[in-house]
């Protein structure tokens, strides 16, 4: 029986195998944040001569890639990328996701928006029938914390500040439990429209293009509409 770390390692290696054929000497790869992405960076490092470098969604990933000898680029200098690789806290059959457990949700959305495809790497515990068991992270400008929390409560959520945490953008996180996420894209748009919200951790308006899901029987490649629970 593989433990969760082994499952994550298998997903990370599957992602390396998936993206390498997409990369050329001038390619910039988008890289996300989190424990599975850490393993992806480690597995990618031996192939660093095959592509130009990467753009990252967090200071943590940038530092890990720099230490591995992968050149890190500012996203402002990049017009497009063949792929963005990142994990998720939850993912459903439509490849809608909840992300932001590590607090990098805004930069993750920004980097993903420049990529031609979003490759989500997860272990099978993250694959769910309906999003929402994992509290939804919402990045908020500090002066708006109380006002945003009241609006989220009116949507049926139970917001709680992530104590002692500041994002790479200098903002705060509200983790919202109890939301009914029947229509992920609609809820994403509604929360993002609240004044003071930088963005919420729903990735549904633009979800994943492919998910590499690591389980006891190996890694499955899933696309929207192909998942059954």
- Say if residue 86 carries a ligand binding annotation: yes
- Say if residue 132 carries a ligand binding annotation: no
- Say if residue 12 carries a ligand binding annotation: no
- Say if residue 32 carries a ligand binding annotation: no
The answer to whether 105 and 99 have CB atoms below 8 angstroms apart is yes
- Say if residue 34 carries a ligand binding annotation: yes
The answer to whether 31 and 63 have CB atoms below 8 angstroms apart is no
- Say if residue 24 carries a ligand binding annotation: no
User: Nearest CA to 115 among 137, 89, 84, 87?
Assistant: 84
Query: Which residue is catalytic, options 108, 124, 139, 160?
Result: 108
User: Nearest CA to 86 among 119, 113, 53, 56?
Assistant: 119
- Say if residue 99 carries a ligand binding annotation: yes
Task: Answer yes or no: 108 catalytic.
Answer: yes
- Say if residue 126 carries a ligand binding annotation: yes
E strand spans, the chain: 28-31, 53-56, 84-86, 90-91, 97-98, 118-123, 136-140, 158-161, 172-177, 197-200, 202-203, 210-215, 218-222
Binding site feature residues: 33-36, 86-89, 99-102, 126
Q: Which residues are annotated as a binding site for substrate?
A: 33-36, 86-89, 99-102, 126
What positions carry a catalytic annotation? 108
């Amino acid at each position: 029986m593989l433990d969760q770390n082994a499952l994550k390692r298998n997903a990370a290696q599957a992602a390396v195998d998936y993206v390498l054929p997409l990369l050329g000497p001038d390619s910039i790869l988008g890289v996300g944040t989190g424990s599975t992405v850490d393993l992806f960076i480690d597995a990618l490092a031996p192939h660093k001569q095959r592509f130009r470098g990467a753009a990252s969604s967090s200071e943590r990933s940038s530092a890990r890639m720099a230490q591995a000898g992968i050149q890190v680029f500012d996203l402002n200098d990049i017009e497009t990328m063949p792929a963005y690789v990142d994990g998720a806290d939850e993912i459903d059959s439509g490849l809608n996701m909840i992300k932001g457990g590590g607090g990098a949700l805004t930069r993750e959305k920004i980097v993903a928006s420049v990529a031609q495809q979003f490759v989500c790497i997860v272990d099978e515990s993250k694959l769910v029938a309906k999003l929402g068991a994992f509290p939804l992270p919402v990045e908020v400008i500090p002066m708006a914390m109380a006002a945003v929390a009241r609006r989220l409560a009116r949507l049926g959520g139970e917001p709680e500040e992530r104590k002692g945490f500041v994002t790479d953008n200098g903002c705060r996180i509200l983790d919202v439990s109890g939301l009914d996420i029947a229509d992920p894209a609609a809820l994403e748009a509604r929360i993002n429209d609240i004044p003071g919200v930088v963005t919420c951790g729903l990735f549904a308006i633009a979800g994943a293009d492919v998910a590499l899901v690591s389980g006891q029987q190996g890694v499955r490649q899933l696309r929207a509409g192909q998942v059954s629970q």
